[in-house]
Structure 1
Amino acid sequence: MEAITSGIMGELATRSLSFLIDRYLKPAPSEVGIKQLQWMLLRVRLTIEEAEGRCITSQAMLHQLNILRRVVYKGYYMLDSLILRIPEEEISGEKEHGVSHFLSLSISRAAKRFCFRTGCKYGTESLEKMLESLEITIAGMSEFLIVLRNYPPPMFRQPYSTYMFIEKCMFGRQLEMERVINFLLHEEPPVHYDFGVLPIVGPGKVGKTTLVEHAQFDERVRSHFSHVIFLSDNDFREV
């Protein structure tokens, strides 16, 4: 009699725990949803890194950039929680087993699943909401990227190894040369007949002539002007 009573109580306890798990706990997110979350976060992150490398002066653009950062932070927080707390076998096999999988569990197995699943606050519904939020964010990034192209890309001082794979590279003067080129390519109003003059001054033997030579050999300058004349101080002395 005691054995029958113990068996009945054990079966009731197992069914009760399984019912609570099915009734109150959230379904585990699928592996496809998690991978989709990873790729969407990576796409937004690339846009943020591209924007952070440019000198943005528009307050509206900066505000939108902050919104992108907050969305990415929330998404990666959810992604870390899902990856750390959801085992691989639950991600791949839970949808196939369904409710019958829980009914066949023992009391200890059901208790373990109960403790584990309650520790994760993100389920399928939360993941779908995050994916929907990212889709809206990505759809709104098109105008952001169009405006972002109007801001100049960052200029970095190249390392010495640049000489090994780029011809006519001037070490440590990329920023200065870009300023000279921008001055040469600047369109003057047609009503003005004055020529712009860009003084390049400094001590001797610091690379002023080399800077001008590299600027006038640039393809953008060559294609902008029909003729380019380079005169050194020796040419003036001969005259």
Structure 2
Amino acid sequence: MEIAVSAVASELAGRLVSFLISKYRGQARPNKKENLESLRRLLRVHTIVEEAEGRYITNSRMLLQLKTLTEAMYQGYDALDTHGPLEQIGAQPEVSGSSHSMDFRRFSSTPASQEVQTALRALETASAEMAEFIALLAGCEGMLRSPYSCYLHIDNFMFGRRVERQRVINVLMQDGQPPPGAPTVLPIIGGRRVGKKTLVWSVCSDDRIRSRFPSIVHVDGCEIQSIDRGRFTTTPVRTLIVVEFRSDVDGSEWRGFHSLLRALTGAGSKVVIISRLERLARFGTVNLVRINSFSREEYGYLFKVLAFGSSDPADHPRLALIGKELAAMMEGSLVHLNVYSSMLRNNLNVQFWSRVLKLYRTVMEANLSVFGEHPRALLDKGSTVDITRFSPSAAAAAPLRFMLLIGGRGSSGPGPGEFPRMTFGDIISGSVVLPMKFELVWESRLPPYTVISGTCVAEKPQHSASPRKKRRT
């Protein structure tokens, strides 16, 4: 019954798209307001994307179509999220007397007609073959809905990665393995903190994967030479082994580990490698799956969804523009996105959002001035970041600067109770005086609930810093 209802809903969505495209083509020189309305209607293709998210898609051409449609959809949301709020507030720059009028003028100076029409054309092109896509989609097996794929679960859904997730599932569900008897190896490669482990965890939680693999074993890359055999079943069964590498491994070590798996696991077992190191893809027996950072448009949409929660952004057009500006500054950092969206969601107030935007801009510019790099780039390299301007109490402690160094894993931070523990919310709220040394902690909202921790220390500025580290103007 559920499949039949979904098929009918998808068919209706397809007819709606065809109707809207015809209507859009028939318009003569539509004005900005008409273009925005057309864009809103075309963005109902989100229904098709959500339907596809609830199906197992094994056809590679369909996955490519879904990727194209998704990219066009987020491009459409990006244009609408800029020019929709401006249309609502009449492009007025004033935001409660704050200094953000320049931000609003920058948005309003964007060539609205061109940007919206570009988004409309992208959606039109992506939707051109949706009738065939929807017909094929109706024949794909449905999956049980879960918090990972439900937009109603604001704090615990895995956003995006539809195509990448499906590609991983397709490889794991395939029969046959080259060479015979050896586990298939699938490398998943991506940059720091882009969601590789979260993606794999969601795949491992999938009902079909859990049914296919009676045993799922997670292994740290540094353990492959001394793996505990007790973690495997006494009688070899089909097993999924997930190995996370933080550094390169010698070829002979890998071959020894791979050979051992042949003895410890049953036929049809498979290995997933997770790493940011491109060279580890050499151990793969199938094509790698690459996890890139979210596009600017997709990242901005996710920030909006998390920052507003159950509230409608259309009811807060000024906040929508402030949030869009803040998301653009974060340069795709998922840690920053989750920290700030959670904090903003609890206080839908223009003055508060403006203050947070100003603090973030100040910290970003301070690090660019001193180190020549964005805070995200510094953290990804394991360098220290100056977070002094985040806190009123820290700023008042001049000339002291509060320098943060984030570890790659939660276990790399100080032990429990060694230093006071604080969150970004504690710092930005200004409700506490920062100690001279403390631990800054953030925990992912999704399995495997990675804890990122870092040590923050107050220190005097190095006046002898090399001029080459300063940003060139």
Higher relative contact order (CA 8 A, sep 6+): 1
Larger Rg: 1
TM-score, scaled relative to structure 2? 0.21
The TM-score with structure 1 as length reference comes to 0.39
